[in-house]
């Protein structure tokens, strides 16, 4: 039987169109999913929409749109972006899905019942994070680290609380032992150092009034809705059958990898395992944490006006060029920068000149000589090791750098050996050899640049014909 591999992106709020940070996370996760598919595993790739949040309600009000219509529109934008990036979600699970998600979250609540209690509470609430904070968790201005400049609201209401404090020791142990693996190590340390603080119980419901009657009703109390993290994290389970298809759930759960941004590590490394432990369910195996993107060295923000629509980049440069930038220029588990001038530069040098020209030159020469392309299947995996080694280290960007070193070498060989100056039999030998190498590079590129890799593989097999231009001049 095939190994199963269940991987997820984080679940974005659907209060605004996707930006380049979402594109990065989609492509990163898609790379891992494709890599595992190529290993022969049965992969399920889930994304979705966190729709039951106050900030969605507020954004819809501000836009003057009916709420459901507003989030439907944004859900379609996220799915559209994925499609444009050649990212294929097997499941896109939405929080407003009453058929599957609602009963799923209610079941999750019921399983945690012994750790849920009601109390009056007054606390500082960040609408941006949808979370209550204690003073110790805020910066010197009393603002949240994710939303500096935004005043926290004092919120007083009667809510249901989850006994998070009870699970502190167990969660520390699960992370320390690696039962929940956190990549990279710096993020693991961060989660553990956070757990050294006092851990307070957290509110997991809102009154209907604050929730604007939106979201999953609390089982047995129709004055309250299940709120945010308890409900949103459960999308990872509701999307694979939890509460509505036991067989499906048993097949896929636990998640093998949750890919998340560094800003939500606390919720995934502490809340999520605590909820699952309380419910008696299996824990996810791995949290894969990436950094944030700046734009020309500046933080992305609506007020600065530097938010980039990744769809425009795809229109201009093409899907694989954008995938290449994100996977190569952004350090896989660290912060990175996007600039359109750098995009131009690598498009021209790496993609158009080095890779595109190599394929074109070799296939043009091959067609002229009536060559047959690669038949040596042993060579197909030659560069796989370059990829495997760097995937093990979670450095996908280095894998691409190393593959491009090889591409440069092939260009150099073609120039130096100048097969067009050689007589027929020697010329054939050099060309066949180079075509075989390029074919193997195409294989190694498959999870990174799927369409480009396909074209390379096809063009270097069988009767050689001049290949199509991979990256036309802009
Ligand atoms: Zn915040």
* pLDDT greater at residue 202 or residue 373: 202
Task: Indicate the class that CATH gives domain 340-474.
Answer: mainly alpha
Q: Which pLDDT band holds residue 184 (cuts at 50, 70, 90)?
A: very high
What is the residue-averaged pLDDT of the chain? 94
Residue pLDDT, tens place only, 288-313: 999 999 999 999 887 788 889 999 99
Q: What is the pLDDT of residue 211?
A: 85
How far does the centroid of ligand 1 lie from the alpha carbon of residue 122, in Å?
A: 17
Angstrom distance (rounded) from CA 108 to CA 406: 50
8 Å CB contact between 388 and 448? no
- What percent of the chain clears pLDDT 90, i.e. is strictly above it? 82
How far does the centroid of ligand 1 lie from the alpha carbon of residue 125, in Å?
A: 8
Q: What is the pLDDT of residue 304?
A: 82
Q: What is the pLDDT of residue 123?
A: 87
Q: Looking at 299, 389, 409, 429, which residue is catalytic?
A: 299
Q: What is the pLDDT of residue 128?
A: 81
How far does the centroid of ligand 1 lie from the alpha carbon of residue 65, in Å?
A: 25
How far does the centroid of ligand 1 lie from the alpha carbon of residue 145, in Å?
A: 6
Q: What is the pLDDT of residue 146?
A: 80
How far does the centroid of ligand 1 lie from the alpha carbon of residue 223, in Å?
A: 26
Q: What is the pLDDT of residue 274?
A: 98
How far does the centroid of ligand 1 lie from the alpha carbon of residue 53, in Å?
A: 13
Tokens of 244: 């509505």
Q: What mean pLDDT is predicted for residues 55-79? A: 93
How far does the centroid of ligand 1 lie from the alpha carbon of residue 242, in Å?
A: 29
Q: What is the pLDDT of residue 436?
A: 95
How far does the centroid of ligand 1 lie from the alpha carbon of residue 151, in Å?
A: 9
Q: State yes or no: pLDDT of 415 exceeds 80.
A: yes
Q: What mean pLDDT is predicted for residues 402-416? A: 98
Q: Looking at 36, 101, 107, 126, which residue is catalytic?
A: 126
Q: State yes or no: pLDDT of 53 exceeds 80.
A: yes
How far does the centroid of ligand 1 lie from the alpha carbon of residue 126, in Å?
A: 5
Q: What is the pLDDT of residue 315?
A: 97
Q: State yes or no: pLDDT of 464 exceeds 90.
A: yes
Angstrom distance (rounded) from CA 384 to CA 413: 21
Q: Looking at 99, 135, 302, 421, which residue is catalytic?
A: 302
Residue pLDDT, tens place only, 242-296: 999 999 999 999 999 999 999 999 899 999 999 999 999 999 999 999 999 999 9
Q: State yes or no: pLDDT of 375 exceeds 80.
A: no
Q: What is the pLDDT of residue 244?
A: 98
Q: What is the pLDDT of residue 129?
A: 78
Tokens of 422: 């050689």
Three-class SS string for the chain? CCCEEEEECCCCECCCCCCHHHHHHHHHHHHHHHHHHHCCCEEEEEEEEECCCHHHHHHHHHHCCCHHHHHHHHHHHHHHHHHHCCCCCCEEEECCCCCCHHHHHHHHHHHCHHHEEEEEEEEEEECCCCEEECHHHCCCCCCCCCCCCCCCEEEEEEEEEECHHHHHHHHHHHHHCCCCEEECHHHHHHHHHHHCCCCCCEECEEEHHHHCCCCCEECCEEEEEECCHHHHHCHHHHCCCCCCCHHHHHHHCCCCEEEEEHHHHHHHHHHHHHHHHHHCCCCCCEEEEECCEEECCEECCCCCCCCCCHHHHHHHHCHHHHHHHHHHHCCCCCCEEECHHHHHHHHHHHHHHHHHHHHHHHHHHHHHCCCECECCHHHHHCCHHHHHHHHHCCCHHHHHHHHHHHHHHHHHHHHHHCHHHCCHHHHHHHHHHHHHHHHHHHHHHCCCCHHHHHHHHHHCECECCCCCCCCCCC
Q: Looking at 4, 65, 73, 147, which residue is catalytic?
A: 147
Q: State yes or no: pLDDT of 174 exceeds 80.
A: yes
Alpha carbon distances (Å) from 372 to 239, 271, 459:
47, 58, 10
Q: What mean pLDDT is predicted for residues 365-383? A: 88
Q: State yes or no: pLDDT of 228 exceeds 90.
A: no
How far does the centroid of ligand 1 lie from the alpha carbon of residue 417, in Å?
A: 60
Q: What is the pLDDT of residue 350?
A: 98
- Is 112 one of the catalytic residues? no
Q: What is the pLDDT of residue 50?
A: 94
Residue pLDDT, tens place only, 112-140: 999 999 999 888 988 887 777 877 778 88
How far does the centroid of ligand 1 lie from the alpha carbon of residue 211, in Å?
A: 18
Q: Looking at 36, 74, 101, 129, which residue is catalytic?
A: 129
Q: What mean pLDDT is predicted for residues 97-115? A: 98
- Is 368 one of the catalytic residues? no
Q: What is the pLDDT of residue 367?
A: 96
How far does the centroid of ligand 1 lie from the alpha carbon of residue 128, in Å?
A: 5
pTM confidence score: 0.95
Q: Looking at 144, 174, 188, 258, which residue is catalytic?
A: 144
- Is 99 one of the catalytic residues? no
Q: State yes or no: pLDDT of 377 exceeds 80.
A: no
């Amino acid at each position: 039987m095939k190994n199963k591999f269940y991987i997820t992106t984080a679940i974005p709020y659907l209060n605004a169109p996707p930006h380049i940070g979402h594109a990065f996370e989609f492509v990163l996760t898609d790379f891992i999913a494709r890599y595992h598919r190529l290993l022969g595993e049965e992969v399920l790739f889930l994304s979705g929409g966190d729709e039951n949040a106050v900030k969605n309600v507020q954004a819809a009000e501000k836009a003057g749109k009916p709420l459901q219509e507003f989030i439907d529109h944004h859900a379609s934008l996220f799915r559209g972006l994925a499609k444009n990036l050649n990212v294929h979600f097997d499941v896109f699970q939405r929080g407003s899905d009453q058929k599957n998600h609602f009963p799923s979250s209610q079941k999750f609540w019921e399983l945690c019942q012994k750790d849920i209690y009601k109390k009056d509470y007054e606390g500082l609430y960040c609408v941006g994070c949808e979370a209550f904070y204690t003073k110790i968790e805020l910066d010197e201005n009393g603002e949240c680290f994710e939303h500096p400049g935004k005043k926290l609201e004092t919120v007083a209401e009667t809510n249901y609380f989850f006994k998070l404090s009870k699970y502190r020791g167990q969660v520390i142990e699960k992370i320390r032992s690696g039962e929940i693996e956190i990549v990279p190590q710096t993020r693991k340390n961060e989660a553990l150092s956070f757990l050294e603080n006092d851990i307070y119980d957290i509110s997991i419901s809102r009154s209907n009034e604050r929730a604007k009657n939106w979201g999953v009703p609390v089982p047995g109390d129709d004055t309250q809705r299940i709120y945010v993290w308890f409900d949103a994290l459960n999308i990872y389970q509701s999307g694979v059958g939890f509460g509505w298809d036991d067989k499906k759930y048993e097949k896929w759960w636990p998640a093998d990898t949750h890919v998340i941004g560094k800003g939500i590590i606390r919720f995934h490394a502490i809340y999520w395992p605590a909820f699952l432990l309380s419910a008696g369910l299996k824990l996810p195996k791995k949290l894969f944490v990436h950094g944030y993107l700046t734009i020309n060295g500046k933080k992305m923000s609506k007020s600065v006006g530097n938010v980039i629509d990744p769809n425009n980049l795809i229109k201009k440069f093409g899907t694989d060029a954008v995938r290449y930038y994100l996977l190569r220029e952004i350090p896989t588990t660290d912060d990175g920068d996007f600039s359109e001038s750098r995009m131009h530069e690598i498009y021209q040098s790496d993609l158009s000149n080095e890779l595109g020209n190599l394929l074109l030159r070799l296939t043009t020469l091959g067609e002229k000589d009536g060559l047959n392309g690669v038949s040596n299947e042993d060579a197909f995996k030659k560069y796989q090791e370059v990829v495997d080694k760097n995937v093990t280290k979670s450095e996908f960007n280095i894998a691409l750098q190393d593959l491009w070193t090889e591409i440069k070498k092939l260009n150099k060989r073609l120039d130096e050996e100048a097969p067009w100056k050689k007589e027929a039999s020697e010329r054939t030998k050099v060309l066949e050899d180079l075509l075989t190498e390029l074919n193997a590079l195409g294989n190694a590129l498959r999870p990174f640049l799927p369409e480009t890799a396909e074209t390379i593989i096809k063009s270097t097999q069988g009767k050689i014909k001049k290949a199509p231009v991979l990256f036309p001049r802009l």
